Amino acid sequence: MEKYSDNPLDTKRRILEAAGKIFAARGFQGTTVRDICSEADVNIAAVSYHFRDKKNLYFDTLKYWQAAAFQKYPHIRETDASLPPEDRLRAFVFQFVSRMLNDGNASWFGKLMAKEVIEPTEALDIVVEEAVRPSFEILRSIVTELIGNVSDERTIRLCCASIIGQSLYFFYSQPVIAKLFSGNTPGFTEPELIADHVARFSVNAIKAFAIQMKGDTP
Amino acid sequence: MEKYSDNPLDTKRRILEAAGKIFAARGFQGTTVRDICSEADVNIAAVSYHFRDKKNLYFDTLKYWQAAAFQKYPHIRETDASLPPEDRLRAFVFQFVSRMLNDGNASWFGKLMAKEVIEPTEALDIVVEEAVRPSFEILRSIVTELIGNVSDERTIRLCCASIIGQSLYFFYSQPVIAKLFSGNTPGFTEPELIADHVARFSVNAIKAFAIQMKGDTP
DNA sequence: TCATAATTAAAACAATTGATTTAAACATAT
DNA sequence: ATATGTTTAAATCAATTGTTTTAATTATGA
């Protein structure tokens, strides 16, 4: 048969790569370790040996691809704080959407995350604490600056949710949108165009909020 | 053991009820026919007898609960066209969110739909054509009226997507939001409050759009 | 070179699952 | 009431799946 891998780490990594692809496509339940091992071109026993069991492999896969996604599309930097909040919001949405929509491997984290949100397992904690919360805190600071100091915590949170919700929709619903518009979907797939729209839409909304609230509490 | 059902239709319906609950909770792959039959308190063979196989049962379950959800929360009526578009948008979002968030059985359709969107099967067609498209058309007419006749089709679609995206987020992300805010989530679970926020946020955004576009094409 | 540990291959196991089979229980009509 | 077709019960099948076992292969170090 085949020769052993040149690098002992190679087998482990090949499994993680294959697992990302297949878990992302079919979910935890829909994936068999045989599928993964076949895709990775390794023996079935390698999963038990390197990862103990399927569930642990799933955890490690999630962490592996989360790291990959955030390495390619890191959180927007603190130094960007000099920019006006409108620009920072657009940059945030762009990073957020790119991290998931990015063609190829990096998008596997987004798909894994989506499945985890819709049908949570014990791994939801990882997703929330290491991906959702950091993003949310950054967004919160942008929205807070944008809306001014006239607003309460609840309003800020709702506005953040509105922005995240829009951003996610363009990712989640790709198959639905394709069917709905018969594939004619200009502006629904390119991260730049999505970011432009979501940022503009949301800035408009929040600025009007700010004006309305200033009127409420003169 | 138990006596037979009083009504011969009872068995079939009991299976559909149980299937809705369990498919919604665990997805197609994560559900076993034994689980469903146990929950429905019927014999395993009843599934083959009444629904041919598991896949067909899943289809019928989807249709059954879709009908139930739309019976309880129908599309907003044409007669509402007399209302201003702001009010109609709020009513739309309220119906849309209630249809999914509604506690108890009716929410099963929303959960089934969410899973179908994230991990599509052959049943995605049913979801898009019978649930998504009709809703989208209604929303489109509201947004068109709201934004005025100065806008192009693409902008209208993007605004519709922003509204649907927000609405869905408050449903999809209940588990994430609960973790993120440690269960302290006022305004994130009640359909009325969600509808208030989403409608206000979106009306603000769209009206500003309308003004900006009027400036673009004088 | 040889011994020891690490890694992989191949086969097998035990449990689960979708589906079927066979016989019994039921309802309905004549 | 009896016959006929319908529905359910219980057992069984065949295939799949996660995991383990055993043996072979490779790398490493004295």
A149-169 confidence digits (pLDDT tens): 777 899 999 999 999 999 999
Cβ atoms of residues B121 and B110 within 8 Å:
no
Please give, chain by chain, protein residues whose CB is below 7 Å from any atom of strand D: A 3-4, 31-34, 44-45, 47-48, 53-55; B 1-2, 4-5, 8, 10-11, 42-46, 49-50
Q: What is the pLDDT of residues B73-111, one digit of tens each?
A: 999 876 677 899 999 999 999 999 999 887 666 689 999
The pLDDT score that the predictor gives to residue A105 is 66
The fold for domain A8-64 equals Arc Repressor Mutant, subunit A (1.10.10)
- C-beta atoms surrounding B38 within 10 Å: 13
In CATH terms, the superfamily for domain A66-216 is Tetracycline Repressor, domain 2 (1.10.357.10)
The pLDDT score that the predictor gives to residue B32 is 96
User: Between A106 and B13, where is the model more confident?
Assistant: B13
Going by C-alpha positions, the residue among B201, B123, B94 that lies closest to residue A155 is B201
Q: What is the pLDDT of residues A50-79, one digit of tens each?
A: 999 999 999 999 999 999 999 999 998 766
DSSP SS3 for B31:
coil
DSSP string, A153-211: HHHHHHHHHHHHHHHHHHHHTHHHHHHHTTT--TTSS-HHHHHHHHHHHHHHHHHHHHH
Going by C-alpha positions, the residue among B147, B138, B163, B152 that lies closest to residue B70 is B138
B211 to chain A, any CB pair closer than 8 A? The answer is no
Q: Which amino acid is at A52?
A: R
pLDDT beyond 50 at B6: no
Residue nearest to nucleotide C17 (CA to C1'): B32
- C-beta atoms surrounding A104 within 10 Å: 7
Q: What is the pLDDT of residues B27-51, one digit of tens each?
A: 999 999 999 999 998 989 999 999 9
pLDDT beyond 50 at A2: no
The pLDDT score that the predictor gives to residue B114 is 93
pLDDT beyond 50 at A127: yes
pLDDT beyond 60 at A145: yes
Residue B212 confidence class, pLDDT cut points 50, 70, 90 = confident
What percent of chain B is helix, strand and coil (3-state, nearest 5)? Answer: 75, 0, 25
Q: State the best of B112, B169, B211, B213 to mutate against chain A, taking most chain A CBs within 10 Å.
A: B169
Cross-chain Cβ contact A176/B27 below 8 Å: no
Mean pLDDT of the region A142-150: 89
Cβ atoms of residues A113 and A100 within 8 Å:
yes
B215 to chain A, any CB pair closer than 8 A? The answer is no
pLDDT beyond 60 at B16: yes
Cβ atoms of residues B188 and B170 within 8 Å:
yes
Residue B1 confidence class, pLDDT cut points 50, 70, 90 = very low
Q: What percent of chain A has pLDDT over 90?
A: 77
What is the domain partition of chain A in residue ranges? 8-64, 66-216
The span from the CA of B74 to the CA of B68, in Å, is 10
A59 to chain B, any CB pair closer than 8 A? The answer is no
pLDDT beyond 80 at B2: no
Cβ atoms of residues A62 and A54 within 8 Å:
no
pLDDT beyond 60 at A199: yes
Average pLDDT, chain A: 89
The DSSP H or E segment spanning A177 is helix A174-180
**Among residues 143-172 of chain B, which lie with CB inside 8 Å of chain A?**
154, 157-159, 161-162, 164-170, 172
Cross-chain Cβ contact A201/B197 below 8 Å: no
Q: What percent of chain B has pLDDT over 90?
A: 72
Residue with tokens 């044409």: B78
Residue B8 confidence class, pLDDT cut points 50, 70, 90 = low
DSSP-assigned letter for residue B5: P
- C-beta atoms surrounding A13 within 10 Å: 14
CA of B8 to C1' of C27 (A): 9
Going by C-alpha positions, the residue among A91, A155, A203 that lies closest to residue B209 is A203
pLDDT beyond 70 at B7: no
The pLDDT score that the predictor gives to residue B183 is 81
In this structure, what are the phi and psi dihedrals at residue B34, rounded to the nearest 5 degrees? -65, -40
**Among residues 166-205 of chain B, which lie with CB inside 8 Å of chain A?**
166-170, 172-173, 175-177, 179-181, 186-188, 197-198, 200-202, 204-205
Among A205-214, B4-13, B47-56, B152-161, the minimum mean pLDDT is found in B4-13
The pLDDT score that the predictor gives to residue B216 is 57
pLDDT beyond 80 at B58: yes
Residue A215 confidence class, pLDDT cut points 50, 70, 90 = low
Cβ atoms of residues B60 and B51 within 8 Å:
yes
DSSP string, B75-124: PPPGGGGGS-HHHHHHHHHHHHHHHHH-TTTTHHHHHHHHHHHHS--TTH
Q: What percent of chain A has pLDDT over 70?
A: 91
> CA neighbours within 13 Å on the CB side: how many for B61?
32
The pLDDT score that the predictor gives to residue A135 is 95
The span from the CA of B170 to the CA of B172, in Å, is 6
The pLDDT score that the predictor gives to residue A4 is 40
